[in-house]
């Protein structure tokens, strides 16, 4: 039996109802069913189901179309279910990341039947796991027509109810330092890869990341070793030391430029790039009206978010949603009630005549 969601209820009650339907990545079906059923009950929307993602569109022939998107999945529970309302905050798994934002979007889908621009609501699966399972990625791959006609997108990831523009790119690479094995009782017969790796770590330590200003926003880059691995056995000089680095690069750089940057920084080492995903330019010139309507000063988004997927489709996008992004994935995550109301009100105003 599909759970009934009451989209006409208060945004706080709706957020709690969403939190109380567990939807860890890969297990979104019950929540997707409930969302789909609630949207299909609204005659002004055309609803599509792709896997456990749901797309609902108005088809009013407006000159502009906007996407409002949020993911349905959460990280695994951490003793933070069911939801609770305390101190004007909704607590519970996914309250911040990002069922609060989903609740706001669902409220608008139900409560603004004739928006001033056409809307494409996207509620998608598997944002918290590897990219090829990502629901937004799968919609773009299998039903691009549902997304391609949008002029702008709002991703309702937590942003403290402020505007976080664009996002930085991410590159992950292994720097492989090689040596030669030997018994530690005759260590001089080998070459200790861990010892030889010292300059790699020192170079990372000495490296000063750049700060790139785009549309008046400062994207501060970062380059971090996130793992170091060496070791064969307790009496063996290791012949390999692998340093995994994570680079966060400004959205003005392409994937190729980000990769070249790392390779140029470590020209004498073997560099294996395992992932590189470009960011998203803030595109504020194309989002001016929206920014003015939301009444917040844009900040640069330093982490990577799915706004980059919209950027890849040629759609300018920004992050705007309730909740403190630093609480995402913490057992104590919550979303403030005033964030929920602020986001709903500002977006409703933007969409209303």
Which residues does the annotation mark as catalytic?
Answer: 73, 127
Compute the least distance from the CB of residue 280 to a copy of itself, in Å. 14
| In contact, 167 and 280? CB cutoff 8 Å | yes
DSSP, res 125: S
**Interacting residue with a copy of itself among 7, 302, 308, 340 (CB under 8 A):** 302
d(CA 103, CA 90) in angstroms, rounded, equals: 12
Backbone phi and psi for residue 232, each to the nearest 5 degrees, phi listed first: -110, -55
Residue with tokens 């939801």: 83
| In contact, 317 and 153? CB cutoff 8 Å | yes
| Beta carbon nearer to a copy of itself, 33 or 240 | 240
Q: Which stretch binds a copy of itself (CB under 8 A): 19-27, 61-69, 81-89, 181-189?
A: 181-189
**Interacting residue with a copy of itself among 9, 116, 246, 330 (CB under 8 A):** 246
| Beta carbon nearer to a copy of itself, 108 or 243 | 243
Number of residues that bind a copy of itself (CB under 8 A): 48
265 is a site residue for a copy of itself (CB under 8 A)? no
| Beta carbon nearer to a copy of itself, 172 or 254 | 172
Paired tokens of 89:
């905050």
Compute the least distance from the CB of residue 304 to a copy of itself, in Å. 7
Q: What count of other Cβ atoms lies within 10 Å of the Cβ of residue 7?
A: 20
Contact characters 122-161, a copy of itself, x per CB under 8 A: ----------------------------------------
Compute the least distance from the CB of residue 168 to a copy of itself, in Å. 7
Count CA atoms within 13 Å of residue 115 on its CB side: 28
Compute the least distance from the CB of residue 212 to a copy of itself, in Å. 14
| Beta carbon nearer to a copy of itself, 73 or 118 | 73
Q: Which residues within the stretch 185-224 sit at the binding site for a copy of itself (CB under 8 A)? A: 185-188, 192, 194-202, 204-205, 209, 220, 222-224
Contact characters 316-345, a copy of itself, x per CB under 8 A: ----------x-------------------
For β-strands 84-86 and 89-91, DSSP reports them as antiparallel
| In contact, 265 and 173? CB cutoff 8 Å | no
| Beta carbon nearer to a copy of itself, 115 or 169 | 169
Compute the least distance from the CB of residue 53 to a copy of itself, in Å. 24
Residue 48, C-beta contacts closer than 8 angstroms, at least 6 positions apart: 54, 55, 56, 57, 143, 146
Residue 5, classified by CB atoms within 10 Å of its CB into exposed (0-12), middle (13-18) or buried (19+), is buried
Cα angle 296, 298, 300 (rounded to 5 degrees) comes to: 150
Helical (H) or strand (E) element with 182 = strand 182-183
Residue 39, classified by CB atoms within 10 Å of its CB into exposed (0-12), middle (13-18) or buried (19+), is buried
| Beta carbon nearer to a copy of itself, 15 or 159 | 159
Residue 314, C-beta contacts closer than 8 angstroms, at least 6 positions apart: none
| Beta carbon nearer to a copy of itself, 112 or 191 | 191
227 is a site residue for a copy of itself (CB under 8 A)? yes
Compute the least distance from the CB of residue 321 to a copy of itself, in Å. 17
**Interacting residue with a copy of itself among 79, 226, 268, 314 (CB under 8 A):** 226
d(CA 320, CA 157) in angstroms, rounded, equals: 6
Could you list the residues that contact a copy of itself (CB under 8 A)?
168, 172, 183-188, 192, 194-202, 204-205, 209, 220, 222-238, 241, 243-244, 246, 248, 302-304, 326
């Amino acid at each position: 039996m599909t759970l009934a969601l009451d989209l006409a209820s208060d945004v706080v009650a709706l957020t709690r109802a969403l939190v109380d339907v567990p939807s860890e990545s890969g297990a979104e079906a019950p929540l997707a069913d409930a969302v789909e059923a609630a949207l299909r009950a609204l005659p002004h929307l055309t609803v599509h189901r792709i896997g456990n993602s749901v797309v609902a569109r108005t088809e009013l022939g407006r000159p502009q179309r906007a996407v409002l998107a949020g993911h349905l999945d959460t990280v695994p529970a951490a003793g933070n279910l069911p939801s609770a309302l305390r101190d004007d905050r909704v607590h519970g798994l996914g309250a911040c990341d990002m069922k609060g934002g989903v609740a706001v979007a669902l409220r608008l889908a139900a409560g603004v039947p004739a928006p001033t621009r056409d809307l494409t609501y996207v509620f998608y699966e598997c944002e918290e796991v590897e990219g090829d399972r990502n629901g937004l990625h799968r919609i773009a791959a299998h039903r691009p027509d549902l997304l391609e006609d949008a002029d702008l997108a709002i991703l309702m990831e937590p942003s403290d109810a402020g505007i976080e523009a664009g996002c930085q790119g991410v590159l992950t690479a292994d720097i492989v330092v090689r040596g030669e094995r030997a018994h530690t009782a005759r260590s001089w017969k080998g070459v200790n890869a861990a010892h030889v790796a010292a300059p790699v770590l020192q170079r990372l330590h000495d490296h000063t990341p750049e700060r790139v200003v785009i549309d008046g926003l400062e994207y501060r880059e970062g380059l971090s070793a996130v793992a170091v691995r060496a070791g064969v056995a307790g009496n063996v000089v290791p012949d390999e030391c692998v340093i995994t680095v994570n680079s966060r690069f400004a959205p003005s750089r392409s994937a190729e430029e980000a990769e070249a940057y790392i390779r140029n920084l470590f020209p004498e080492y073997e560099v294996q790039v395992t992932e590189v995903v470009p960011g998203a330019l803030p595109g504020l010139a194309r989002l001016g009206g929206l920014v003015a309507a939301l009444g917040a000063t844009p900040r640069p988004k330093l982490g990577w978010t799915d706004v980059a997927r919209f950027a890849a489709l040629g759609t300018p996008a920004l992050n705007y949603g309730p909740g403190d992004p630093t609480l995402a994935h913490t057992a104590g995550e919550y979303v403030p009630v005033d964030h929920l109301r602020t986001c709903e009100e500002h977006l409703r105003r933007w969409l209303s005549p």
